[in-house]
Amino acid sequence: MIDFDPGTAAPTRGTDQRNGGDLVVETLEALGAKTVFGIPGQHALGLFDAMGRGNLHFVSSRVENNSAFAADGYSRATGEVGVLFLSTGPGALTSLAGLQEAYATGVPMVVVASQIPLEGLGARRKGMLHQLDDQKASAANVTKSQRLIQHASGIPSAIQDAWTEAISSPQGPVWIEIPQNVLLDPIMVPPVEDALAEAADNPPRVELIREAVKWLSTAERPAIIAGGGTRRGRAEKSLLSIAEQLRAPVICTPGGNGAFPWKHELSLQSWIEDRYMTDVLEDADVLIVIGSSLGEVTSNYFTFEPRGRIIQIDAEPRVLESNRPGLGIRADAGQALAALDEALAAAGAADTVKRSWHGTSPEDVVRESLAKVKARLESQDLAKELKFMADIREAVPADMQTFWDMTISAYWGWSCWDAREGQFHSAQGAGGLGYGFPAAIGGAVGLETAGKPGRVLAVSGDGSSMYSISELATAKQHNIPVTWLIVDDGGYGILREYMVGAFGKATATELARPDFVKLAESFGVPARRVSPEEVGDALKESFEADGPNVVVVETLLKMFGPTHLDD
């Protein structure tokens, strides 16, 4: 038996006998997990000791919220479940900001947090290290569900159930916590040989699809908003087919970026914050909204006033009609669009009505709207910004995945980034700072684990980069192929711009910051400082290198003018 001192929560004697930690590792491996992110802690030592007897690859971050971002990025890049190990109390709580992003965006994760020994649980405050009144209650706002395991024999089933819940739409992180002694005590449970987790079926109701087909069969001006649920449901193929059957213009939200071909003749791309696009969507007589709540950004900051009927498809029932009334279809986006695609084809919906926007073809509406957006941008003295983003896009290989922090470059990327054959990932779900670099680390690890080229791009501002600067050590330690672009404008650039616009001056937005090149080099990570005009060539060279590297650009970028404030 392994002894531990309740006063210090530290093991005092080891053994080779299997324990609860082994059951955790064995079950995860049986479910297909290959990589775990996290940071060791005293109550969690049973987990980490067991990993030494298993085959899981462990990536140790330097701060727990960055571990959560890394597991999130791993999942987004690969489509697999991200796995996160946390220690008790401060470690568990520090992860919550990262988990909020995963929860808001629907990223499947299994989170295993340690707990104080069983004897300390309950209403008593025994003064144990890291003790919380109710640790799992702290995770309730940022995870789908929370479980406390009190007996080692329950570990395999609980993890299997958590994995199933994580991958079932609406997907998201699931929280499990295991007391220290349950992880450490020897067990009689035999080794886990297999585990099965299949996503719960979440199809649309037949009568709702039938009603949607009725609406669309008579629609002259159908249009589609493709949100993040479209990508999570792997509904891209069905979306393309539906759009072409209906000749419906399609616009992607920031989370849906990449769900529809950027240069398709029906693509309004992702200019969701521009009033010209809002006008088109308002004019639709039937609007299909997939995997989006029609929230703040998608509604152009709640200025969107649709005049037609809305068909809203989402796996999360709380999203349906949360902002606008409509025909709510609670279903996985992939299953719902596949059913709708088939039903439209069977009904011959493509031939039932002429698609015309007041005498203009849908394709011409798309071309004219994009031209208007382009003209608006060119009238705003944004040549530097447009060239900067174009140079980055030209430098990034077509199939490379990119991870964007909450920074002005990312706000541009929400609207102008053509994901091509790669994937665009950003922190727009919860909107917290510090996502880009650690998520890119997780993404690169996942791609390499899957046998694919691992090089990815992370984009941060100087303010957001300081949230995750310590992860340069992680990238160096594991030689992770991440190129980190830091756009240094000396402060919280977007907040500076908002405050100047609203109040005429900015307060508390200017930042002292390090020499990012020297700082990266102190970690042993190659870095360079370049001008905005040199960013494309610098990135191309960095992509050819081995391991992590950093490119710093000192420049002040502006945002395009907000059209929701126009009279």
Check whether 102 has a pLDDT greater than 90. yes
Instruction: State the sign of the Cα–Cα–Cα–Cα dihedral 302, 308, 310, 311.
Output: negative
Distance CA 321, CA 326 (A): 6
Pick from 340, 116, 109: nearest CA to 212: 340
Q: Does residue 13 have a pLDDT over 50?
A: no
Identity of residue 80: E
Give me the count of residues in the chain: 567
Which helix (H) or strand (E) is 206 found in, with range?
helix 206-217
pTM for this entry: 0.94
* 30 token code pair: 């049986």
What does the pLDDT average to over 554-561? 93
Q: What's the pLDDT tens digit per position in 230-268?
A: 999 999 999 999 999 999 999 999 999 999 999 999 999
Per-residue pLDDT reduced to its tens digit, 174-212: 999 999 999 999 998 899 999 999 999 999 999 999 999
Question: How many angstroms separate the CA atoms of 121 and 381, rounded?
Answer: 61
Is the pLDDT higher at 121 or at 381?
381
Distance CA 459, CA 182 (A): 41
Gap between the Cα atoms of 482 and 500, Å rounded? 34
Q: Please give the pLDDT value at position 376.
A: 95
Q: Which of 99-113, 217-231, 294-308 has the lowest mean pLDDT?
A: 294-308
- Of residues 7 and 398, the one with the higher pLDDT is 398
Predicted confidence (pLDDT) per residue in 121-144, tens digit: 877 777 777 878 889 999 999 999
Type of residue numbered 114:
S
For 322-341, the pLDDT digits (tens) are: 999 999 999 999 999 999 99
Q: What is the mean pLDDT of the chain?
A: 93
**Residue 45: half-sphere exposure toward Cβ, Cα within 13 Å:** 16
Is the model's pLDDT at 2 over the cut of 80? no
Amino acid at the residue 75: S
Buried/exposed code over 252-287 (b: 16+ C-beta within 10 A; e: otherwise): bbbbbbbbbbeebebbbbbbbbbbbbbebbbbbbbb
Distance CA 252, CA 290 (A): 10
DSSP 19-87: BHHHHHHHHHHHHT--EEEE---GGGHHHHHHHTTS--EEEE-SSHHHHHHHHHHHHHHHSSPEEEEE-
DSSP 337-372: HHHHHHHHHHHTGGGTS---BTTB-HHHHHHHHHHH
CA angle 181, 187, 192 (to 5 degrees): 115
More confident residue, 411 or 354: 411
- How far apart (Å, rounded) are the C-alpha atoms in residues 258 and 253? 9
115 φ, ψ to 5°? -140, 165
Strands (E), 384-480: 402-404, 424-426, 456-461
Query: Which pLDDT does position 389 carry in this prediction?
Result: 97
CA distance 267 to 255: 16
| Total Cβ atoms within 10 A of residue 345 | 14
User: How would you write 469-533 as a 3-class SS string?
Assistant: CCHHHHHHHCCCCEEEEEEECCECHHHHHHHHHHHCCCCCCECCCCCHHHHHHHCCCCEEEECHH
Residue in the block written with tokens 């009568």: 207
The Cα–Cα gap between 258 and 290 comes to: 14
DSSP string, 69-100: HHHHHHHHHHSSPEEEEE-TTHHHHHTHHHHH
pLDDT of 11 > 60? The answer is no
Are 297 and 272 a contacting pair, CB within 8 Å?
Answer: yes
